[in-house]
Structures are given as C-alpha cells and as structure tokens.
Amino acid sequence: MIKPDFDLSGKVAVVTGGGGVLGSNVGGGLLRAGAKVLITDISKKKLEEKHTALSPLGELSSTVCDVLDIESLQEVLNRVVGDWGRIDILVNAAGGNMPGATLPPDKSIFDMKIEDFRRVNELNLDGTVLPCMVFGKAMAVTGKGSIINISSMAADSAITRVPGYSAAKSGINIFTKWLAVELASKFSDKIRVNAIAPGFFIGDQNRAVLLNPDGSYTERSEKILARTPMKRFGDISELNGIVRFLCSDEASFITGAVIPVDGGFSAFSGV
C-alpha cells in the first residue's frame, strides 16, 4: 500500500505556542497528516480553547508550558516520552511582538522601549533556542527527528516599525542553520533542522495595522501587496503543506534551510 504524500502516521510532534493562531493551525495540520500532537502554551485559557477545537482531528494532548523555563520544557518532554515513547517533531511556534518594541509612524528608534526590545528577543529567540536544547537532546539520543523554527519576512530585509521582531527572527535564521550543522555532523544525519519564513497573513496581532475599521486595506497593506507578486495576503492554512513536507521522510536531505512562504515577496525587487 502506498502511503499518501507527507504521511506522518505514528510520528510524535510537540508544537510550542499551540494556543496561538499559527501554532494551533500547524498542530491541526500535523494531526490531519496522522501525527500524535502535543500542543503547549503559556496561556491555559487559549490552550483549552484550541484543544477543544483540534481534538476531533486526531490524537491530541496539551499542557501549559513556559518556553523560557528549562524545567517546564523538561516536564513536557517527560510527559511526551511517558505517553508516546519518543519525540519525532518539534515546531517552535511560540513568539510574538510587543507594542513597546514596535514603532508607529510618528516615532523613531530613539523612542523604542529597550525593555520591550529585550523581551521580544527573549520570547522569540530564547523561546526557540531553549526548546531546541531540551527536545533536540532527546532526538540526539534516538538519532532522528525534525525541528522546524518560525522565521519571518522581517528577517529577510528591513521592514519598518518592527526592529525588535526583526532582530529576533534574524537570530532564529542563523541559529537554525547552525543547529542543523551541529546535529547532523555530531549526532545523526537523520536529525534535521529547518525554518519557514511566513509572508504576510492577516491575524489578530496585525489586523489593526493592515485593515481599516471598514475592512479596507491600510496604506501599509497597499505597500505590502505592491511588493507581493501574487497580490494577496496568505491564508494561515497555506503554511501546513511545507511544515508537513519538512517533517516527512520525503525531506530527508533537507536541513539548514529557511523556506519563504510569502507569495513571492522575498523574490521581488519592486521593479
């Protein structure tokens, strides 16, 4: 019997930030592909809501976790291994931005709140590095696994207003490549580390920036679409195909890659 493309039946996945839009979407995609999935989030309320929504899709577990706390991450690993025997997939979807590290049009870098800048870097970069250390160590023991980090178009070129987020995601890009080399050369060629770089999607965090109260596009949206050859925003579900592919055996020779999912934004010069 030929298995469907990107089949993940029997694989065990952990998705951090599973209470958010991106993390829950990815978790749902992995469940549909046949994986057993544990989603984590620091917010119990968000986690419970997403667990209820996703549980009909497959074998799902969830637990509150702070990705900046090694002990909290270790407890999640112990639970996964205790319940399902191993971990095959880690998706680091925890992250986000903060108002103080985002600059409105009438402000400059000199108005930025440095504490928020640091917190954004900690949440996104440290919140990726620490889970990689905990769950990646378990993969090093078994000699196989796939780690997927979340980058951004903000790491590809200078996008105005988001200095903290841009710096953090740029750090994730080089860490992804570094860790791919580290794990493949020192432990196993069957442990792979990649990242996806989403383009522009309208979600709860950026809705007010991209849409006017009447639902029309803001000036910022018009600038984005002018640089996007497909002339549209993405749908969050359009991330699922590349995530499933990178987690599957079909991607067995791909590691250290940062793959854009952006409608051509990163390829277009604007001319």
Count Cβ atoms within 10 A of the Cβ of residue 206 and give its class: 0-12 exposed, 13-18 middle, 19 or more buried. middle
Please identify which of the residues 165, 175, 187, 200 carries the catalytic annotation: 165
Q: Which amino acid is at 71?
A: E
- Tokens encoding 233: 């925003």
Query: pLDDT tens string for the chain (271 positions)?
Result: 445 678 999 999 999 999 999 999 999 999 999 999 999 999 999 999 999 999 999 999 999 999 999 999 999 999 999 999 999 999 999 999 988 998 988 999 999 999 999 999 999 999 999 999 999 999 999 999 999 999 999 999 998 999 999 999 999 999 999 999 999 999 999 999 999 999 999 987 788 889 999 999 999 999 999 999 999 999 999 999 999 999 999 999 999 999 999 999 999 998 8
Distance CA(132)–CA(31), nearest Å, equals: 21
Q: What is the pTM of this model?
A: 0.95
Distance CA(261)–CA(51), nearest Å, equals: 26
Question: What local confidence, expressed as pLDDT, does residue 265 receive?
Answer: 96
217 in active site:
no
Question: What local confidence, expressed as pLDDT, does residue 58 receive?
Answer: 97
Question: What local confidence, expressed as pLDDT, does residue 5 receive?
Answer: 72
Question: What local confidence, expressed as pLDDT, does residue 203 receive?
Answer: 82
Among left, alpha and beta (phi > 0; psi -120 to 50; other), residue 29 is alpha
Question: What local confidence, expressed as pLDDT, does residue 4 receive?
Answer: 63
Question: What local confidence, expressed as pLDDT, does residue 1 receive?
Answer: 46
Q: Is residue 15 within 8 Å of residue 228, measured between CB atoms?
A: no
Looking up tokens 């709860």 gives 204
